[in-house]
Structures are given as C-alpha cells and as structure tokens.
Amino acid sequence: MNAMSTIQAKSQAAVPTKKARRVPTPRIWPVTANDMYALLIGNAVLILAMWVRHGGLAELATTSGIFTAAGEISALYGTYLILIQLVLMSRSPWLDQVFGQDKINAAHRWVGFGAIWLLVGHAILTTVGYAMGIGAGPVDEFLTLLGTYPYVLWSAVALVLFIVVGFSSVRAVRRNASYETWYFIHLYTYLAIALAFLHQLFVGVDFATDRIAQAYWIGLYVLAFGSLLVFRFGQPIVVSLRHGLRVANVVEEAPGIASIYLTGRNLDQLPVRAGQWFRLRFLTREGWYRAHPFSISAAPNGRFLRFTIKELGDYTAKLQRIPIGTGVFVEGPYGALTGAARTRARVLLVAGGIGITPLRSLLEELPASRGNLTLIYRASGPEDVVFKREIDELASLRGATIHYLVGRRGSPEMPDDPLDPRSLRKLVPDIGDRDVYVCGPVGMTNRVLATMKRLRIPDRQVHYERFAF
Ligand SMILES: Cc1cc2nc3c(=O)[nH]c(=O)nc-3n(C[C@H](O)[C@H](O)[C@H](O)COP(=O)(O)OP(=O)(O)OC[C@H]3O[C@@H](n4cnc5c(N)ncnc54)[C@H](O)[C@@H]3O)c2cc1C
C-alpha cells in the first residue's frame, strides 16, 4: 500500500478515491528584496526632501528651532513607519514570497517599536522646542497645545493607544497574555491611525499649505490601506466564496493530534504549494471569530486539503472534534517554506514535533532521486511521532532517507543534543551541499538555525518556519 492509498483508506467516507490532480502553483512575483529596500529608501529620501523644501533647514539656526525640527522629522518618519507596519500586516503575497512570514514578523516587531519611539520623540521635542521659542515651561506649553491646537488632543489619544499596543508587545507582557488579548489590543492601532491623520494634514507644517505634499502623503495612506484591504480581506473572501470549503473528515493520528480534511469546489484551481499554510476560521457558533494558522500536511492534490492539528490550547482542543460539514473560511496560502526556495539538488528536512506537517507535504512533493531527500524527525517521545507509516511508505516509494531522533534531550537514551553541528554532520555528511528546511517549536528551530551558522551553511540554503507568532 503506498502513502496516498493510506490517506484514502482513512478518509474514504468523505473523499472520493480519484488520482491526484496537478494544482497550479501560486504566482511568482517579479520582485526582489532589493526592489523593496529601494522603494523604502526612495520614499524616506522624498520625505526628507519635502521637509527641506518647506524650510526645515532654516529652523536649525536656533536651539528651539533644532528641537522643533527634530520633532517634525520624528513625526514624519514615525508616521512613515506606521504605514510600513500596515503593509507588513497586509499579508501581501509579494512580501510573503520575498521575506517569508518569520522575517515579516520580526520586522513588524522592530518597525513597531521604532515608530512608537519616534512618535513619543515628536511629542516631547515639539513641546520643548515651542516652549523654548516663547520662553514658557514645557508643561504649560504642552497643556496649551492640547487645549488650543486643532486635533492635537486627538493625536495625544492616538499616541497613548500606540504606547498601549507597544507595551502589550513587550516580551514579558506578551508571554503572560493570551494571543487573543494581544491581538484585540492591536486592533486599537487602526483607531490610533485614524485619530492622528487629521492632525498631520491640518497641523503638520509640511502639509497644511502644500497641495502636492498633501496628495503624496494621502497617496501613501491609500497604498498602505489598499494593500491591507485587498490582501487581508478581499483575497480571502474571494477564495473562500469560490471554493466553499467544508470539513469532510476528521481522523485521529495520535492522542491529541487529528487530521482535518477539507473539500470544496474546484480545488484543482486553488494555487498552493506543499509547505504552505492557511489561516483557518471554522464557522461554528463559538469559533467563527478566531482564525489560526495551520500548514497543509499532504501535498496539494486538487481534491482535498489536509491539516494535522495538535491540541495545544482551548481552540486546538475543540478542533479535534470539529463536526463534519462545518464551513471553513480560509486566508492564504502563505509561506515561503516551499520548493520554490530550493537552490540545490539535495535537500535535508528537519522537523520537530508537530512541525512535521509542512515537511511531510514537502517530502511528498519535492523532486526526489536516490539520496537527494533526507528527513530528520525529532520528537520527545514515540507518542509525538505522527505519520510514521505514511513517512516510511513515502520514503521507500521515493528513495528518501529518514532518521527518527526520538527521546528527551539529556535522557539516558539521548544524552547529547542530536541537532548539534557534530551530530548533524555525522548523520548527513553532505549537509553543506543541501538546502535545509526547518520547522518546529521556536526553541528547536532556533537551535537548528544556530547549528547551520556554525556549519557555515549559507543563509540562502536555509529555509524555516516557526510555529509561533
Ligand atoms: C505558520 C504556522 C503554521 C502552523 N501550522 C501548524 C500545524 O500544521 N499544526 C499544528 O498543530 N499547529 C500549527 N501551528 C501552531 C498553531 O497555530 C497553534 O498551536 C494554535 O494556533 C494554538 O491555538 P490554541 O488556542 O489552541 O492554543 P493557545 O494556548 O491559545 O496558543 C498557543 C500558542 O499558539 C500561538 N497562537 C495562538 N493563537 C494563534 C493565532 N490565532 N494565530 C497565530 N498564532 C496563534 C501563540 O504563539 C500561542 O502562544 C502553526 C503556527 C504557525 C505560525
């Protein structure tokens, strides 16, 4: 029995037993990281040029003017970073393709903190600059600005909201709050942006009197919000309506781990690659407002999408018993952990625990000839190894090599770290000549990435996904 027929045997009731069909792959966008950096830097230069055109340099003649100028510049770049944040949050396919979600998340974090510091800097520097200019105290000046300048009170409220959002993202706070709390606090960002917008247009010295500058600034907002609307809302609505996905079957793979099969209309026209993931929103009364990310755990076949989900918290616990027939709203596919990222003929897949899901689908889809494809599957105990039969069958079918590394680190059966440089090189001597795909819990993924650095594997050969935001 081969791997495909194993799947069919398990899900026969819901999934018709037809051959896999060829599925289109997501479009490859003709953009590179350098194009993105050029666009970012180009706009940053334009913003500075706009400030100079409006007489910014003349302000530098006095101490109060220097403070005011620094306040203006921090406002312009703070807002620019907020707009970049919107684009980073938009889930644009070209950003996803060029950087991958992991790097986007890291950028989102640091751009966010940068923006908040600049906006706080704007409030302080401008108040001090104005106060020095008229010989007033900074606190009095601050109260005057709040009470008399149009929209300043609104933007002060916006700044407080930005600070609350930033505070909720500080690691120590984030660790102690649920994902949902953190997410809902983040929604205040939109209110903050709306509150601050009029302040910039009607009080900002660069926009109040210059129509061209105003049009440029509004254009940046339209671009940022446009990508958000198109990719975050438009594309998922179109895909979900077109394919009408429903739960077709739920199969227990191991205690606390279930595979959910989704079927729908024209799935052979849904562009997706092995290794990618979707945000799934199961349309039940208690769950419709929550979308969680899950990777496909079988290569796309035009007939069903399979997700394999480990019970980790309240939501994933409920999914183990999701009723057959439940409608599913999908966002995606996302992720750059795909065959498109490959640079070498040989590939090493390194999976940790439930991080096997995208790598299991890659094991099925990546081109294989004898010796080309190796999977290392790390798990704490035998109960954490899923798909063992499928993986063994795929391996013999495709000539892949599989190493199961099962046991707790430091236990008698596994005293050393099996993913340290020496052990990995022993297991896969030609590792330097392979693309390495890594997926697993954050700690394990970070350890493997550190090993790759110590083995001097070039970054372009290392592809990874962490199962956490
Ligand atoms: C790109 C990606 C692909 C993934 N693929 C799989 C997979 O194939 N199989 C699998 O079992 N798990 C996968 N996960 C992990 C899975 O999304 C979480 O385990 C699940 O969302 C936890 O939800 P919970 O409410 O049950 O647990 P909780 O205890 O509430 O959350 C546990 C952790 O999961 C993360 N998380 C929770 N809710 C969300 C959310 N809405 N969006 C993003 N992250 C969230 C947070 O880091 C949180 O600390 C993937 C995660 C990512 C980022």
Q: Whose CA is nearest to atom 33 of ligand 1?
A: 468
Q: What is the whole-number distance in angstroms between the Cα of residue 285 and the centre of ligand 1?
A: 20
Query: Is residue 204 scored above 80 in pLDDT?
Result: no
Rounded average pLDDT over 254-263: 95
Same domain, 310 and 388: no
pLDDT digits (tens, 9 = 90+) for 77-132: 999 999 999 999 999 998 998 888 888 999 999 999 999 999 999 999 999 999 99
Amino acid identity, position 459: D
Give the C-alpha separation, 279 to 81, whole Å.
26
Q: Whose CA is nearest to atom 30 of ligand 1?
A: 313
Q: Whose CA is nearest to atom 42 of ligand 1?
A: 292
Same domain, 359 and 441: yes
Give the C-alpha separation, 405 to 391, whole Å.
14
Tell me which of 198-202, 285-289, 403-407, 429-433 is least confident. 198-202
Same domain, 66 and 107: yes
Q: Whose CA is nearest to atom 48 of ligand 1?
A: 179
- Domain range for residue 188? 33-238
Q: What is the whole-number distance in angstroms between the Cα of residue 238 and the centre of ligand 1?
A: 24
Query: Is residue 26 scored above 90 in pLDDT?
Result: no
Burial class of residue 20 in the structure, from the number of CB atoms within 10 Å of its CB (0-12 exposed, 13-18 middle, 19+ buried)? middle
Minimum-distance ligand 1 atom for the alpha carbon of 335: 1
Same domain, 81 and 183: yes
Query: Is residue 8 scored above 90 in pLDDT?
Result: no
Rounded to the nearest 10 degrees, what angle do helices 152-169 and 93-134 cross at?
130
Minimum-distance ligand 1 atom for the alpha carbon of 316: 26
Rounded average pLDDT over 268-275: 95
Question: Helices marked H in 170-246 — which ranges?
Answer: 171-176, 179-186, 188-203, 211-227, 235-243
CATH code, domain with 437: 3.40.50.80
pTM greater than 0.75 (yes/no)? yes
Give the C-alpha separation, 350 to 369, whole Å.
19
Same domain, 49 and 190: yes
pLDDT bracket for residue 10 (50, 70, 90): very low
Q: Choose the final residue of a domain: 334, 353, 372.
A: 334
What was the pLDDT predicted at 469? 67
Across the chain, what does the average pLDDT equal? Answer: 90
Same domain, 200 and 305: no
What was the pLDDT predicted at 20? 67
CATH code, domain with 287: 2.40.30.10
Minimum-distance ligand 1 atom for the alpha carbon of 178: 30
Q: What is the whole-number distance in angstroms between the Cα of residue 179 and the centre of ligand 1?
A: 9
Q: Whose CA is nearest to atom 40 of ligand 1?
A: 292
What was the pLDDT predicted at 19? 63
Q: What is the whole-number distance in angstroms between the Cα of residue 173 and the centre of ligand 1?
A: 18
Rounded average pLDDT over 293-322: 95
pLDDT above 90 as % of the chain: 75
Q: What is the whole-number distance in angstroms between the Cα of residue 293 and the centre of ligand 1?
A: 6
What was the pLDDT predicted at 9? 38
Q: What is the whole-number distance in angstroms between the Cα of residue 425 and the centre of ligand 1?
A: 31
pLDDT digits (tens, 9 = 90+) for 186-196: 999 999 999 99
What was the pLDDT predicted at 69? 96
Q: Which of 309, 313, 297 is nearest to 357 (CA)?
A: 297
Same domain, 45 and 185: yes
Give the C-alpha separation, 169 to 177, whole Å.
10
Same domain, 203 and 317: no
Domain count of the chain? 3
| Candidate of 168, 309, 314, 467 to mutate for ligand 1, largest count of ligand atoms within 8 Å of Cβ | 467
Same domain, 58 and 98: yes
Give the C-alpha separation, 366 to 356, whole Å.
15
What was the pLDDT predicted at 113? 96
Q: What is the whole-number distance in angstroms between the Cα of residue 311 and the centre of ligand 1?
A: 10
79 or 384, which is more confident: 79
Same domain, 164 and 19: no
Helix, strand and coil content of the chain, in percent to the nearest 5, comes to 55, 15, 30
What was the pLDDT predicted at 42? 97
Tell me which of 19-28, 96-105, 120-129, 446-455 is least confident. 19-28
Same domain, 121 and 176: yes
Query: Is residue 274 scored above 90 in pLDDT?
Result: yes
Give the C-alpha separation, 257 to 139, whole Å.
59
What was the pLDDT predicted at 351? 97
Q: Which two tokens stand for residue 82?
A: 């907020």
Q: What is the whole-number distance in angstroms between the Cα of residue 467 and the centre of ligand 1?
A: 6
428: Cβ contacts below 8 Å, ≥ 6 apart: 348, 374, 376, 434
Tell me which of 65-74, 176-185, 388-397 is least confident. 176-185
| Candidate of 175, 262, 292 to mutate for ligand 1, largest count of ligand atoms within 8 Å of Cβ | 292
Please check whether residue 417 is in contact with residue 447, taking contact to mean a CB–CB distance below 8 angstroms. Answer: yes
Give the C-alpha separation, 335 to 102, whole Å.
9
Same domain, 79 and 21: no
pLDDT digits (tens, 9 = 90+) for 53-77: 989 999 999 999 999 999 999 999 9
Q: What is the whole-number distance in angstroms between the Cα of residue 292 and the centre of ligand 1?
A: 6
Q: Which two tokens stand for residue 388?
A: 């063992």
Ligand 1 pocket at CB < 6 A = 101, 178-179, 277, 291-295, 307-310, 312-316, 354, 357, 465, 467-469
Give the C-alpha separation, 199 to 232, whole Å.
27
DSSP state of 275: T
Minimum-distance ligand 1 atom for the alpha carbon of 358: 8
Q: Choose the final residue of a domain: 238, 272, 301.
A: 238
Rounded average pLDDT over 212-220: 92
Query: Is residue 4 scored above 50 in pLDDT?
Result: no
Q: What is the largest CA-CA distance in the chain?
A: 86
Q: What is the whole-number distance in angstroms between the Cα of residue 251 and the centre of ligand 1?
A: 19
Tell me which of 95-99, 234-238, 301-305, 373-377 is least confident. 95-99
Minimum-distance ligand 1 atom for the alpha carbon of 290: 41
pLDDT digits (tens, 9 = 90+) for 134-154: 999 999 999 999 998 888 999
pLDDT bracket for residue 2 (50, 70, 90): very low
pLDDT above 70 as % of the chain: 95
